[in-house]
Amino acid sequence: MLTKRIIPCLDIKDGRTVKGVNFVDLRDAGDPVELATQYALEQADELVFLDISATEQKRKTLADLVLRVAAAIDIPFTVGGGISSIADVEVLLKNGADKVSINSAAVKNPDLINELALQFGSQCVVVAIDAKQIENQWKVHLVGGKVPTELDLFEWAKEVESRGAGEILFTSMNHDGTKQGFANHALAQLSETINIPIIASGGAGNVSHFIDTFKEGKADAALAASVFHFGEISIPELKNELKQQQIAVRIETL
């Protein structure tokens, strides 16, 4: 049976993890490679690296990091953050990224989705959508949720699917950072609207939030950052709880 995926997200700036991490076993908590290795050992199903640096060196630093991550871990990973061209994607995939995630660039230039799917295959094209619910309408936002657009979340998701995206990473700006649970109502509606996998993001605070997003939100995967980085939720314990709730998860015995 296909299992639900648990995905830690690492924010990266200039090749280092940004938000503080509180991992007992790490020699260098700022080293994304070491953190990634630890998560792979804990049986995280996938990783997302979100690059938020804005330097001229950005592309090269990120490409180098991807290469080092690919050398170290044997689970899939996605790279996102400021990716806006075929050339950007090509170097990341060549260096060992499994998928790339595009966000603002897809809204500004939707043809990019088609071009990437055609050139590299839908399986490596993740479209990240940040949306905020305003007066009962979910509107797509850009620049990390700061800039509103007129795009409706569900319409945009449909368009993204038809253009060849292989997966959607949906972050609810209303829930992100609240630790009050994922946007399950919108997630369930998304699942009815489109037929590609959906990663739920924004709002994870405790184990039952994950149970709810898989059961009520019908999410295929759930992404979180701080609850994992600060050890508030351990991935093995989370997976055991999910299993108790009859949710299919990957638990490998050594």
Partner 1 sequence: MIAIIDYGAGNTKSLQFALERLGVSSLLTSNEREIRSADKVIFPGQGAAGSAMKKLHHYGLDKLIPNLKQPVLGICLGMQLLCEHSEEGDVKGLGIIKGTVKRFSNQVKVPQMGWNSIHDLKGPLFEGISSNSYMYLVHSFYVPQLEETVATSNYNGEYSVALQKDNFYGVQFHPEKSSRKGQLLLRNFLNLSQ
Question: Would you tell me which residues interact with partner 1 (CB under 8 A)?
Answer: 1-5, 40, 43, 45-46, 67, 70-71, 74-76, 93-98, 119-124, 166-167, 195-197, 220-221, 250, 252, 254
Query: CA 81 to CA 100: how far, in whole Å?
Result: 9
Catalytic residue flag (residue 130): yes
Query: How far apart are CB 197 and partner 1 at their closest, in Å?
Result: 5
**CB closer to partner 1, 149 vs 240:** 240
User: Which residue type is seen at 72?
Assistant: A
Nearest partner of 22 among 201, 226, 178, judged by Cα: 226
- Smallest distance, partner 1 to C-beta of residue 135, A: 30
Name the residue nearer to partner 1 (CB basis): 114 or 149.
114
Q: Which CB sits closer to partner 1, 10 or 168?
A: 168
Give me the catalytic one of 45, 51, 88, 130: 130
| Residues 39 and 76: beta-carbon distance below 8 Å | no
**Shortest Cβ 42–partner 1 spacing (Å):** 11
Give the whole-angstrom CA distance, residue 253 versus residue 116: 37
> Looking up tokens 């050398």, which residue turns up?
71
Between CA 32 and CA 98 the distance in angstroms is: 17
Q: Which helix (H) or strand (E) covers residue 156, if one does?
A: helix 153-162
Smallest separation (angstroms) from partner 1 to the CB of 2: 5
Q: Is 45 helix (H, G, I), strand (E, B) or coil?
A: coil
11 carries an active-site annotation: yes
Please give the C-alpha separations between residue 25 and each of 22, 155, 244, 252, in angstroms, as whole numbers: 9, 44, 28, 21
Owner of token pair 């090269």: 60
Q: Which residues are catalytic, by number? A: 11, 130
